[in-house]
Chains A and B, each alone.
Chain A
Amino acid sequence: MNDVNIRRRDFLKTSVGAAAVAIVPGMMLFDLSHGKPENASGKVRWGMLIDTTQCKTGCNDCVTACNNENGLSGGIRATDSQWIRKIELKSDSTRRELSLPMMCQHCENPPCVDVCPTTASFKRADGIVLVDKHRCIGCRYCMLACPYKARSFVHEPLHDQNPDVPRGKGTVEACTLCVHRVDQGIQPACSEACSNKAILFGDLNDPESEIAKKISSMASVQIRADLHLNPGIRYQGL
């Protein structure tokens, strides 16, 4: 009897060990593939540098990528959500033509956050301006306050949203800088989709990042810099 028990114990010991060896790599993969438990860091300031000289007139790849990533309909009626849109400019005097993408500029001092009566509009520690739809009452003050016309209101009930991008009727929404991707260490969809590499995404605060090096060595402007909102999106070649 005793003999049998010892063997049974040994068997259990080895099988538990074998199970642990089999399970542990799986657990590691699970941990890596899932979210991180840390806060968004206040040391980081996410931003973009858009090179308008590389942005092709008529190309809509960034807009399409945004629509696919975030589950937008892609319609352009006044009631359809647009998180990013292409703008074509032409100077009457020089006849120079320009094409550029326009979206939420992720201001350091965002007017949408100032006016929000429920603090639904807020700026994350890493500079990304978002709408907390749990608090948004759909008053649309932020849409009026935004000088970039970056925000949209959801007018119709929605179905089959992307699990990473919750959206719903009666709330205001805008470019999130693909926050669900950024938190996984992936660049935003528009930046990834641009075949001319016209949209450079990175940390403005990190002097070693490509974007910080570029803005320190080349001329770039913020749109409506006179408002002193300090947008995180900068444009080159305007």
Chain B
Amino acid sequence: MTTEDLSFVIVGHVDHGKSTFIGRLLHDTNSLNTDRLEELKAACFALGRELEFSFITDHLQEEREQNVTIDTTQIKFKTDKRNYTIIDAPGHKEFLKNMLTGASQAEAAVLLVDAHEGIQEQTKRHATLLHLLGVRQMMVLLNKMDLIEFRQERFDQLKTELLQFLKTIGIMPAHVIPLVAKDGDNCVLRSERMNWYTGATFLDALDQFTCKNDTAHKPLRYPIQDVYKIADKRILVGRVESGTICQGQEIVFLPSQKHTRVASIEVFGKTNKKEAAPGESIGITLADPLFIERGEIACAIDAPPPIAKKIEAHAFWFSPHAFEKKDRIRLKLATQDVQCQVEKVDRIDSSTLNTIEKDATLLHTAEIGKFILVPEKPLVLEPFDQIEELGRFVLEKDGEPCAGGIVVSTHGTL
């Protein structure tokens, strides 16, 4: 029985064949039901076309008629090893924010590149954004090998070019695989048209990705979501983000710095729960009658996170409205929600990673900002490479999400 779960996102430039690839994969792994296939054929026929695998994920009328993915989709399939969630992401620049929605849910990424067209603007931008959002596992598929007559030297040349670029943004792909998505070469079955390629097929490479690292060995971080009064108990509910929490354990709440012990762990229907691991949505009661609200984080007393005066962070600005430096913004991280001022922002081109302007007054749509943020209230966070769940955030303005990013470092602990 398969018990492992892994979700991966498929990214790449528009028209490089992402949705077609997903359709082919589902077809070749026998994951499509006959009704779905019939519906697909009928929809294609109505538009006067052959069977298009992209219609499996491109389900909106507009997507099918214009042959472009507008919004992200998730679809499941299984191998002997795992349950997979495939996240399809749009490749068109206009729908970048939908691509981000998909990518933020992924543990691994597949970058698809048209072997004929080569590296394009969104190829680079997507790779950069995945890295920015913290996706560290990746493989590359060089699709449409039939358009370059399955030539090895062209493949090698492209591969070198790609690896060079990916290296500059800190990505080392596990595999680079030559592919023809529409015919299925090297997707599930080994291609007979590219005998020079001896590496893994896509499906083999996929099973080699590793699942999300268990964060149980890291220090405890338990952000409080809400406080419920149930009968005579005050139950602090939340999700363990890292470490483990045990009955009797000494904890400190940050940023309030209040110390206490865990009196009990509360899960409905389980009367004798003694400890909880990362990912568990639980409740706790405290040994002392402290006043604790949403946003406080229960932490291990021997390894508390910093409460920063200033934060160095990288964020991708996806709002259609430019950011003005004088604007106050809300930073949402775990269950915290704090107003911030921007001390400094450098504008970075999200496709080339070149600095456009240092200490800018405006940050435009689809640019990366290197921010120095000053929170107006104490904020508990840590660098993304230490504890991911406390190192990634969303910026909001007037109630609208505008940017997403990660904490690089913190300065001037309070």
- Tell whether A and B belong to one assembly: no
- Residues of B in contact with A (beta carbons under 8 Å apart): none
- Residues of A in contact with B (beta carbons under 8 Å apart): none
